[in-house]
Amino acid sequence: MKDGLLLPLRQDEYALNKKNGYILSDCLIAVVLGVTLFVPALVLLSKTIVTYQTARGIQAMAMYGRLGMEEMRSLDDGQTFFEKRFEQHGNIYDIKGYCRSVDDTYCLHEIWVRCPDEQEYRFKRLERRKNTK
């Protein structure tokens, strides 16, 4: 026994101490597999974030569209147009509403919501007039 060790030294199974090129090829294979797994995961993560932001924008537009519809309900008789501006987290949302008669019984409410990135969403609702039976 060398140096007074009780157990013999274990042989290196992976030949890491030998300079025969296996370390370089093993590292290259590990890098290729790592890139193959992580790049698609990062691409999917970025697509998920973009989809989430788009959904949040649509949700905000729908909320302001509903606010516009409620504002149209509260208009006095004879008033057909309104315009409002809301601010949320530094973003400004412009809302315009218009009510026009379709016939003696119904009127059409149209709401336009313009978001900060200049997209415009339009909402419509057909409603029976208040003074008809």
Residue 118 covered by a domain: yes
pTM of this prediction exceeds 0.75: no
Residue 85 covered by a domain: yes
Distance CA 59, CA 51 (A): 12
Of the candidate ranges 26-30, 71-75, 82-86, 127-131, the one whose mean pLDDT is the lowest: 127-131
Distance CA 79, CA 104 (A): 16
Contact 87, 31 (CB under 8 A): no
CATH number at 88 reads 3.30.1300
Residue 96 covered by a domain: yes
Cα of 30 vs its chain's centroid, Å: 34
Distance CA 114, CA 93 (A): 6
Overall number of domains in the chain: 1
Q: What is the domain extent for residue 36?
A: 22-128
Mean pLDDT of the chain: 82
Residue 29 covered by a domain: yes
- The token pair at 59 is 């949700």
Residue 50 covered by a domain: yes
Quickly state the pLDDT bin for 68 (edges 50, 70, 90).
confident
Of the chain, the percentage scoring pLDDT greater than 90 comes to 23
| Residue corresponding to tokens 């060790």 | 5
Distance CA 85, CA 112 (A): 12
Q: Residue 1: its pLDDT value, please?
A: 47
Q: Residue 5: its pLDDT value, please?
A: 63
Residue 105 covered by a domain: yes
| Residue corresponding to tokens 């919501």 | 113
Residue 4 covered by a domain: no
The DSSP secondary-structure symbol of 117 reads: T
pLDDT tens-place string over residues 76-121 = 766 788 898 988 888 888 999 998 888 888 888 899 999 888 788 8
Residue 7 covered by a domain: no
Q: Residue 12: its pLDDT value, please?
A: 59
